[in-house]
Amino acid sequence: MPLWWPLLLSSLLFAIGVYGVLVRRNAVLVLMGVELMLNAVNLNLVAFDAYFRDVLHGGQTFALFVIVIAAAEIGLGLAIVLLVFRTHGQIDVDTMRELADREEPAVAER
Amino acid sequence: MVDLGGGVQAIDWLAVAPVLVVACAAVVVLLADAFAGPPRSRRQALVPAALTLAGVAAAAVPAVRLWGERRSTFCVGGVLEGPAACSFVVDPVTLVFWGVVLFGTAVVALLGTAAVAEGRTPQGEWNFLLLCSATGAMAIAASRDLVTLVVALEVVSLPAFAMVGLRRDDPRAAEASMKFFLVSVVSTAVMLMGVSLVYGATGSMFLTQVDQALVTGAGPREVAVAGALLTVVGLAFKVAAVPFHMWVPDTYVGAPVAVAAYLSVVSKAAGFVGLMLVLGLGLRDLAPVWAPLVAVLAALTMTVGNVLALGQQHAVRLLAWSSVAQAGYMLVPFAAVGAAGAAGSAGAAGSGAGGLEPLGASVGYLAIYAFVNLGAFAVAAVVGTRHPRQRLTDYRGLVREEPLAGWALVFALVALAGLPPGVVGLLAKVVVFSSVSSAVTWLAVVMAVNVAIGLVYYARWLVELFRPAEVPGRSTYDVPNGVGVAVGMTFAAGVVLSVFPGLLLDPVLAIF
Amino acid sequence: MTVVEVLFLLLGLVAAGSALLVVTTRTMVHAALWLVVTLGAVAGIFLLLAAEFVAWVQILIYVGAVVVLLLFALMLTKAPTGPQPDLDARRALPAVAVAGLVLAVLGTTVVAGFHGVELDLDGAVVGSAQTTGATIFQQWVLPFEVLSVLLLAALVGAIVLSRGTGRRGGE
């Protein structure tokens, strides 16, 4: 198999993930786009590992670690999404403007 | 199964001790908090912060013991050809960053005690997350392979998301946390893509071996270049370089002041050390490609940060934009690496310092920025106890009402602006300026213009400090002891470094 | 074409197609389910590329845990189950442009860079659990340990953030 096949697939997945991140308004859907990007990274890493026959298996090991990082991110991300939902009633990233720069900042309620 | 030439790696415990102590301190804080139960008194609520300070102090002991040494551990021996491949290296750069991280963590832990009175931030977990994040920042400074570097960078950011949103029933903190989280997660993915391409082009995760492969030209160069650019973009988010800065003002304003201080100093320092290691050690041979890019980023970052800081009425937002601008100054020396390296690139592979000399200026600027910026945030925390809205007009009369806090802020602002009494800030700017003035002249000019713009808004804030207060004659500041100590620490550090600037700058500039 | 190549092309088509559906579908729950298909297909490709352990971890953690968490997030934020017209911001065209640019740059770079390079999978060391375990604990101990701090912090952070508003900081 030519090495560029998996690499091109990875580029495609990455681009699709970028599109998802840019276009989606719901925070959970944005996270799905990020997952696609991370999967593209893993595909690259595994393909290169196989290509180099890396004695240290740097690519595969890193892919495993990326999966763990993604899981940790999602776990914390879920908590943050729920926190925002509790305080704002929705998780639309486009309508979050409370902190936006204004002449007279809103009074921080204490 | 592959024979990897021997069993478990040998570990130099003294070298890893500072990181290990901080990590253990995090666990101690967590356990102590879990077993002690909800605090019954104000004094008991301060225990986690005290434990954090003790942990930082304990980590400083082995770090001081290591001063001046150069140690490598977690090495891969006998399997790979080429230069030694070690995952963990303690050298002067590492130690300077460890100093910045430990000092910053201590100050932030002290600032965090301002939230005790309010009772809306769980102190045990807050300090645990602070120490976890600091562990990552310590680890990244010593990491010399891409896997450890990325993982450590993530350890810096992930607890920080939680710290931003930890204040209960605070919609602004939740929103800040969400924005920070999304931007950071996307930037991590972009950086990982870059790292995977660098791996593909060079066949190794170890920075020394990546460098070797690029010098010998083993892999396809265009892939390495693409990887380098994506990595720079990903890390630019972390250090909040324009145009990847949009999360900064909102996050800093929405987060508690202590967390904003942490993000602007320790988290930013971690991003910088990551950038410095990847570009300086791993991708040094590609400097002609990334140096102009970083130069443009630096110019944009300085200009946008300073110009947008001009109109701000909100103190923390002003500090946020100012910290964006300061990140631009820190990026400036990177632009000179390629230019200086052109002469020495032939011998670059063998010697340890082919053309990296300008980066010393970046390290020095970062260290000095850390001390004075923490000072400014510390005073903002003091004022925040009475004026949570943090308008610049709230700072009126501060010098008269709270002389220590007032003069500390005066000093910090003067140093950030780079004016003479804050000698240390001036010197930092001179060092950075001279590192590029001969190599990349246009950038030096941009920087000079920006320093002038910066004077305007720092001066505007300084004027407010000396104006009479709206309600003159009485001080109603109830400064928590911890915050007072933090103000004193940063003030003292700034003054000492202004009187004896060589203490910090001489060793730092000799690193590379 | 060898069997491996045919399988790769099939799995690649499935992965790319379902990934497109993840980012374009109007029904949020469907997006999560299409993500399962993508992740599963990528896991299959990992198997083809001699990364056995990574493939199983991908199935276990990604499909088993991450997607379930995403579904939970959708459920707990009361996401509507029917099709939604306004899931996307009104910036589809710039997003397509950026994504297309990314694909063009990355794609041409890797194709040009590795043109004519064969990925020889015969006799490659399969990344079995044993091999992977040995490499992680012999060569990659440091990042592994740092990762443990990450997981602990994420766990504690998630718990403390979602502990609710009822209890005040322990007073």
Give the pLDDT confidence of A89-110 residue by residue, as tens digits.
Answer: 878 877 776 676 554 444 443 3
Q: What does the pLDDT average to over B145-149?
A: 93
Of C35, C51, C72, Cβ closest to residue A60: C51
Does the pLDDT value for residue B244 go beyond 80? Answer: yes
- pLDDT tens for each residue of B14-40: 889 999 999 999 999 999 988 887 777
Q: Could you tell me the residue ranges of all domains in chain B?
A: 284-512
Buried b (16+ CB within 10 A) or exposed e, C137-154: ebbbebbbbbbebbbbbb
Mean pLDDT of chain B: 86
Whose tokens are 């026959």? That residue is: A53
Instruction: Please say whether the beta carbons of A41 and B193 come within 8 A.
Output: yes
Instruction: Please say whether the beta carbons of B300 and B246 come within 8 A.
Output: no
- When scoring B192, B195, B307, B389 by the number of chain A Cβ atoms within 10 A, the one with the most, hence best to mutate, is B192
CATH code of the domain containing C37: 1.20.120.1200
Q: What does the pLDDT average to over B392-409?
A: 87
Please tell me the predicted confidence (pLDDT) of residue B4: 46
Chain B contact for A99, CB < 8 A?
yes
Does the pLDDT value for residue A37 go beyond 60? Answer: yes
DSSP state of B145: B
Please tell me the predicted confidence (pLDDT) of residue B82: 66
Please tell me the predicted confidence (pLDDT) of residue B472: 58
Does the pLDDT value for residue B71 go beyond 90? Answer: no
Does the pLDDT value for residue C89 go beyond 80? Answer: no
- How would residue B475 be classed by pLDDT, with cut points 50, 70 and 90? low
Three-class SS state of B1: coil
Q: What are phi and psi of B121, to 5 degrees?
A: -115, 120
Q: Which chains touch C (3 or more CB pairs under 8 A)?
A: A, B
User: Considering just the CA atoms, what is the radius of gyration of chain B in Å?
Assistant: 22
Three-class SS state of B71: strand
Q: Which two tokens stand for residue B27?
A: 């666990």
| Residue C43 located in a structural domain | yes
Does the pLDDT value for residue B190 go beyond 80? Answer: yes
Does the pLDDT value for residue B481 go beyond 90? Answer: no
Q: Could you tell me the residue ranges of all domains in chain A?
A: 4-88
Could you say which residues from 142 to 161 on chain B have a Cβ atom under 8 Å away from some Cβ of chain C?
143, 145, 147-148, 151-152, 154-155, 158-159, 161
Please tell me the predicted confidence (pLDDT) of residue A100: 66
CA dihedral B425, B430, B431, B436 (to 10 degrees): 140
CA–CA distance, B313 with B472 (Å, rounded to integer): 21
CB contact under 8 A, B139 and C153: no
Of B155, B162, B197, Cβ closest to residue C160: B162
Instruction: Please say whether the beta carbons of B73 and B10 come within 8 A.
Output: yes
Percent of chain B surpassing pLDDT 90: 47
Does the pLDDT value for residue C50 go beyond 50? Answer: yes
Please state whether the predicted TM-score (pTM) of the whole model is above 0.90: yes
Q: Which two tokens stand for residue B144?
A: 């010399």
Return the amino acid letter for B160. A
Q: Average the pLDDT over each of A89-103, B88-102, B140-154, C27-41 and give the range with the smallest value.
A: A89-103
CB contact under 8 A, C119 and A3: yes
Please tell me the predicted confidence (pLDDT) of residue B351: 37
Instruction: Please say whether the beta carbons of B392 and A103 come within 8 A.
Output: no
More confident residue, A83 or C90: A83
Of A2, A47, A56, Cβ closest to residue C49: A47
Q: What's the gap in Å between the CA of B61 and the closest CA on chain A?
A: 31
Which residues sit opposite B89 in a β-bridge? B72
- For residue B154, the chain A residue with the least C-alpha distance is A69
CB contact under 8 A, C139 and B4: yes
Question: Which CA distances in Å does B117 have to B121, B482, C168?
Answer: 10, 12, 12
Mean pLDDT of chain C: 87
The complex's ipTM works out to 0.92
Contacts of C23 (CB under 8 A, 6+ apart): A16, A17, A19, A20, A23, A24, A29, A32, A33, A36, C31
Look at residues B163, B178, B176 and name the one whose alpha carbon lies nearest to residue B266.
B163
Could you say which residues from 99 to 128 on chain C have a Cβ atom under 8 Å away from some Cβ of chain B?
105-106, 109-110, 112-114, 125
CA–CA distance, A33 with C72 (Å, rounded to integer): 17
B89 membership: H or E segment, kind and range: strand B85-90
Residues in chain C: 171
Instruction: State the angle between helix axes of B92-112 and B358-384 in degrees (0 to 180), rounded to the nearest 10.
Output: 10
- When scoring C70, C126, C149, C161 by the number of chain B Cβ atoms within 10 A, the one with the most, hence best to mutate, is C149
Question: Which CA distances in Å does C97 have to A16, A21, A34, C100?
Answer: 11, 13, 18, 5
Q: What's the gap in Å between the CA of A106 and the closest CA on chain B?
A: 8
Q: How far does CA A38 lie from the centroid of its chain?
A: 6
Distance between start and end Cα atoms, chain A: 63
Of B172, B181, B204, Cβ closest to residue A108: B172
- How would residue B245 be classed by pLDDT, with cut points 50, 70 and 90? confident
- How would residue B7 be classed by pLDDT, with cut points 50, 70 and 90? low
Q: What does the pLDDT average to over B348-354?
A: 41
Does the pLDDT value for residue B214 go beyond 60? Answer: yes
Of C131, C149, C170, Cβ closest to residue B136: C149
Please tell me the predicted confidence (pLDDT) of residue C143: 93
- When scoring C106, C125, C139 by the number of chain B Cβ atoms within 10 A, the one with the most, hence best to mutate, is C139
Note down the domain range covering C59. Answer: 1-82
Instruction: Please say whether the beta carbons of C76 and A85 come within 8 A.
Output: yes
Q: What does the pLDDT average to over B99-113?
A: 93
The count of structural domains within chain C is 1
Please tell me the predicted confidence (pLDDT) of residue B397: 83
Contacts of B189 (CB under 8 A, 6+ apart): A17, A34, A37, A38, A41, B234
More confident residue, B188 or C139: B188
Chain C contact for B120, CB < 8 A?
yes
- Per CB-CB distance under 8 Å, the chain A contacts of B185 are 31, 34, 73, 77
Look at residues B421, B469, B427, B430 and name the one whose alpha carbon lies nearest to residue B448.
B430
Q: What is the CATH number of domain A4-88?
A: 1.10.287.3510
**How many Cβ contacts (< 8 angstroms) between chains A and B?**
145
Percent of chain B surpassing pLDDT 70: 93
State chain B's maximal CA–CA distance in angstroms.
78
Q: What's the gap in Å between the CA of C53 and the closest CA on chain A?
A: 9
Of B181, B193, B205, Cβ closest to residue A77: B181
Whose tokens are 């600037």? That residue is: B501
Q: Which two tokens stand for residue B183?
A: 């931007």
Q: What does the pLDDT average to over B264-290?
A: 91
Please tell me the predicted confidence (pLDDT) of residue B343: 42
CB contact under 8 A, A48 and B196: yes
CA–CA distance, B422 with B436 (Å, rounded to integer): 22
Chain C contact for B47, CB < 8 A?
no
- How would residue B78 be classed by pLDDT, with cut points 50, 70 and 90? low
Q: Which two tokens stand for residue B108?
A: 């932030």
Q: What's the gap in Å between the CA of A77 and the closest CA on chain C?
A: 8
- When scoring C49, C147, C150 by the number of chain B Cβ atoms within 10 A, the one with the most, hence best to mutate, is C150
Instruction: Please say whether the beta carbons of B76 and A56 come within 8 A.
Output: yes
Please tell me the predicted confidence (pLDDT) of residue B474: 59
Instruction: Please say whether the beta carbons of C60 and C99 come within 8 A.
Output: no
CA–CA distance, B342 with B361 (Å, rounded to integer): 19
Please tell me the predicted confidence (pLDDT) of residue B357: 81
Three-class SS state of C125: coil
- How would residue C169 be classed by pLDDT, with cut points 50, 70 and 90? very low
Look at residues B191, A36, B186, B125 and name the one whose alpha carbon lies nearest to residue C70.
A36
- pLDDT tens for each residue of B484-507: 899 999 999 988 888 888 878 887
Could you say which residues from 108 to 147 on chain B have a Cβ atom under 8 Å away from some Cβ of chain A?
118, 146-147
CA–CA distance, B249 with C82 (Å, rounded to integer): 37
- How would residue B191 be classed by pLDDT, with cut points 50, 70 and 90? very high
- Per CB-CB distance under 8 Å, the chain A contacts of C127 are 49, 57, 60
Look at residues C47, C14, B217, B212 and name the one whose alpha carbon lies nearest to residue A47.
C47
